[in-house]
Amino acid sequence: MSRPRSSKAFAWLGGFAVLCALLALPANQASAAKGKPPEPLFWGAQIGKQLTGESAPWDMRALDEFERHARKSVSVLSFPSPFADDCSDRRCEFFPFPVGAMDALRQRGTIPMLSWASQSVPSKLREPAFQLSDIIRGTYDSYIQDFARQVDEWGHPFFLRFNPEMNGFWFPWGESVNGNRPGQFVKAWRHVHNIFTSMGATNATWVWCPNVDFTRKLTPLHGLYPGGRYVDWTCLDGFNWGGAPNSGGWQSFDEIFRSTYHRVIKIAPRKPMVIAETAAEERGGSKAGWIRATLRAVTKYPKIRGLIWFEENDRSMRWPIESSVKARNAFADAIQRTVFRPGEFSGIESIPIAPPSWPS
């Protein structure tokens, strides 16, 4: 079985430019946790093909090259995988749990984050065969059971980021698209989680990951949360689109994340959070300055215990840190802070994965 053909296996769809226009209002400045030093964070990246011609972890040289730019080893590598390859001929090829990639990452001290999506590739917004109702009624139970069996056999902790950005309208598992209905996302999530539990695959740390929504234009979050029994970490994705066409303009980390962060911690106050996708465009401001400010600001949000850089060129956006020498150097300098833990987790066994702690 081959690996997914694209590192961004579930590519964002063209309608996302509309979202950028909607998300144009600034939020208030974040407040720091006063009087307390910051807790350590996992840090890492989702790495595309621009460095070596292939994405990580399918080409580990891409991870090596990124770490050379950052001058530090990552503690988390995020990578996506859909359920299936091209299903246009009605003969879907379903992807297994990527044991080889998981082993390679663990051996170098890196925790895998698998972004697993109930769709086929190439990505389409309308996928009648992959509606949430299909998951709920058991259409893919045999595949999910086999996947969970492989997870159990592998046996080590990893982050499982299932159907992310579910509050948006650009993926086929969103409740406002693809024939899905309100309430089905939670039912589908619980159904998949219950299969994992029944198969003994308890080594997955479940990450619930909406997109930032500081204008409240997307699907409300409270109706999408599966509940504390089914979620181990919360999560947010958000970008500074800068001067890109149809964007909301240059925004700080606080303006992008603050309001949705507070909404999420009201829903799940006891869960740690990871920023699973973030980056800045070069156009519209100083990307180097934004990087320095962001890697300071994130430590002021006490629930955030991890940050993953979106290290891919996607839809003509220059997200990678090497988009300019200044941006690359700013990232490398800022990530040296000891609060961002390096790849030291080859022996991690806690289930679910706990936030990092300071070495004793």
pLDDT of residue 4: 60
* Residue for token pair 């990092």: 356
| Cβ-contact 163, 226 below 8 angstroms | no
pLDDT of residue 246: 82
Cis peptide bond upstream of 57, omega within 30 = yes
pLDDT of residue 240: 97
**Regions of the chain with pLDDT less than 50:** 1-2, 5-33
What domains are defined for the chain? 16-27+41-334 (3.20.20.80)
Whole-number Å distance between alpha carbons of 50 and 62: 8
Whole-number Å distance between alpha carbons of 194 and 38: 35
Q: Both tokens of residue 54?
A: 């292939």
Residue range 79-125, pLDDT digits in tens = 999 999 988 766 789 999 999 999 999 999 999 999 999 999 988 99
pLDDT of residue 360: 80
pLDDT of residue 35: 66
